[in-house]
């Protein structure tokens, strides 16, 4: 297995795969690509990645390199854990180095700005591979908790059930329980939109609002996510599962969430530019929010929370104006799951 990206989630996923190999008495190895040589050297010498995972020990099955082609050599499973907006350029660079027939796993939760493409669509487009070779892993995936081996369930989605089962087996560690799902669209949309909703919840934190407010945003955010997923061909059941509700709750409620943290800073009256400068890791919702709203508009899906978040990010809407805009909407039935806003 090659894991492209040695940030918190990429490194944690490599750890999960290595620990699963130990559990299954598998002789598989994992090569982790790090952009910086110093990170690769620390992983190889000390078996830690202290910038992202503190002192957590990594399996000796994991090796690291700053040479991307070396990492991909002979890998029959390629895991992508890079920022969503850099994916296409990175794939264009390495597509000839990925082995024919390799399964490509996306850990990314974003939409490509400009094309509004999901990450699985970008992978298929750039690599020219079939959907049966593309897997999406999503769910409540707060990296530090998983790296600390706190029990976690997740979702492995693929159009081919056998491939999904194979990958689920490869990453079934004592503390990491994967479930399979054929609804790739729903799984991806759940992971994408929850980042935008987490920004809104973080804004509530920054404003000092209470749990009633945040619970309301989470619940209505799930309704928005569900409308968009269904409009794109996703399944209602997926939104009630780990990749929908589960991921949304984790990202909106945990102080480990980058998107909630970014939202809190926005709520404390930092500009989007200032928030970006203050964050040490990418808050994907800030990058994908515009694409989410554009995708919704092209599919006639109203998403008032996403629209308000984008207004704040663009500086067109104040934090106080965001609250007034959301609370001043026309009264509707709560149970409406049509494309129109409720």
| Bridge partners for 2 per DSSP | 31, 78
| Bridge partners for 79 per DSSP | 3, 105
Q: How far is CA 296 from CA 80, 117, 231, 232, 256, in A?
A: 26, 12, 9, 9, 28
Residue 68 in contact with residue 4, Cβ under 8 Å?
yes
Indicate whether 341 pLDDT > 60.
no
Measured CA to CA, the distance from residue 98 to residue 75 in angstroms comes to 8
Residue 299 has which token pair? 């599919």
Under the banding of pLDDT at 50, 70 and 90, the label for residue 155 is very high
Indicate whether 77 pLDDT > 70.
yes
pLDDT at 329: 66
Task: Return the CA Rg of the chain.
Answer: 19
Helices (H), the chain: 8-23, 37-46, 50-53, 68-72, 87-94, 119-127, 143-147, 161-170, 184-206, 211-231, 236-239, 247-253, 258-267, 272-278, 284-298, 304-313, 319-327
Q: What is the mean pLDDT of residues 187-192?
A: 97
pLDDT at 10: 97
Between CA 319 and CA 325, with CA 323 as vertex, the angle to 5 degrees is: 110
**45: buried, middle or exposed (CB in 10 Å: 19+, 13-18, 0-12)?**
exposed
Measured CA to CA, the distance from residue 264 to residue 202 in angstroms comes to 4
Indicate whether 201 pLDDT > 80.
yes
**What pairing do the DSSP bridges indicate for beta strands 103-106 and 2-4?**
unpaired
Residue 223 has which token pair? 């309704």
Q: Cβ neighbours of residue 232 under 8 Å, at least 6 residues apart? A: 185, 189, 295, 299
Measured CA to CA, the distance from residue 207 to residue 202 in angstroms comes to 9
Indicate whether 336 pLDDT > 70.
no
Q: Which of 33, 58, 56 is nearest to 45 (CA)?
A: 58
Catalytic site positions? 194
Measured CA to CA, the distance from residue 75 to residue 87 in angstroms comes to 19
First to last CA, the chain: 45
Between CA 17 and CA 22, with CA 21 as vertex, the angle to 5 degrees is: 120
Q: What is the mean pLDDT of residues 200-208?
A: 92
pLDDT at 338: 58
Model confidence pLDDT, tens digit, residues 247-291: 999 999 999 999 999 999 999 999 999 998 888 777 888 989 999
**3: buried, middle or exposed (CB in 10 Å: 19+, 13-18, 0-12)?**
buried
Percent of the chain whose pLDDT exceeds 70? 96
Measured CA to CA, the distance from residue 194 to residue 207 in angstroms comes to 20
Q: Which of 196, 230, 229, 236 is nearest to 322 (CA)?
A: 196
Model confidence pLDDT, tens digit, residues 235-247: 999 999 999 999 9
Model confidence pLDDT, tens digit, residues 99-153: 999 999 999 999 999 999 999 999 999 999 999 999 999 999 999 999 999 999 9
Measured CA to CA, the distance from residue 97 to residue 51 in angstroms comes to 28
Under the banding of pLDDT at 50, 70 and 90, the label for residue 322 is confident
| Bridge partners for 178 per DSSP | 154
Model confidence pLDDT, tens digit, residues 293-321: 999 999 999 999 999 999 999 989 888 77
Indicate whether 324 pLDDT > 80.
no
Model confidence pLDDT, tens digit, residues 84-93: 999 999 999 9
């Amino acid at each position: 297995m090659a894991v492209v990206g040695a940030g918190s989630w990429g490194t944690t996923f490599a750890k999960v795969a290595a620990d699963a190999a130990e559990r299954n008495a598998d002789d598989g190895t994992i090569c982790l690509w790090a952009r910086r040589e110093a990170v690769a050297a620390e992983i190889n010498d000390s078996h830690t990645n202290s910038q992202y995972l503190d002192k957590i020990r990594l399996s000796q099955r994991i090796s690291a390199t700053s040479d991307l082609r070396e990492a991909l050599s002979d890998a029959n499973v390629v895991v992508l854990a890079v920022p969503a907006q850099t994916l296409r350029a990175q794939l264009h660079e390495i597509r000839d180095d990925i082995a024919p027939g390799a399964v490509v796993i996306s850990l990314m939760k974003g939409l490509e700005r400009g094309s509004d493409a999901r990450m699985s669509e970008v992978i298929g487009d750039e690599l020219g591979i079939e959907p049966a070779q593309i897997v999406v892993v999503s769910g409540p995936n707060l990296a530090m908790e998983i790296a600390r081996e706190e029990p976690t369930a997740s979702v492995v989605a693929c159009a081919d059930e056998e491939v999904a089962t194979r990958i689920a087996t490869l990453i079934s560690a004592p503390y990491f329980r994967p479930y399979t799902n054929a609804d790739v669209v729903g799984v991806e949309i759940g992971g994408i939109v929850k980042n935008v909703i987490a920004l809104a919840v973080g804004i509530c934190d920054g404003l000092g609002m209470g749990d009633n407010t945040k619970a309301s945003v989470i619940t209505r955010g799930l309704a928005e996510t569900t409308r968009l997923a269904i409009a794109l061909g996703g399944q209602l059941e997926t939104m009630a599962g780990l990749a929908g509700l589960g991921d949304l709750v984790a990202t909106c409620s945990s102080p480990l969430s980058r998107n909630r943290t970014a939202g809190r800073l926005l709520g404390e009256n930092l500009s989007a530019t200032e928030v970006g400068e203050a964050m040490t890791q990418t808050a994907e919702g800030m990058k994908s929010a515009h694409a989410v709203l554009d995708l919704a508009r092209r599919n006639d899906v109203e998403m008032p929370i996403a629209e308000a978040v984008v207004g704040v990010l663009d500086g067109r809407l104040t934090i106080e104006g965001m609250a007034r805009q959301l609370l001043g909407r026309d009264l509707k039935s709560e149970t409406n799951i049509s494309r129109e806003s409720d």
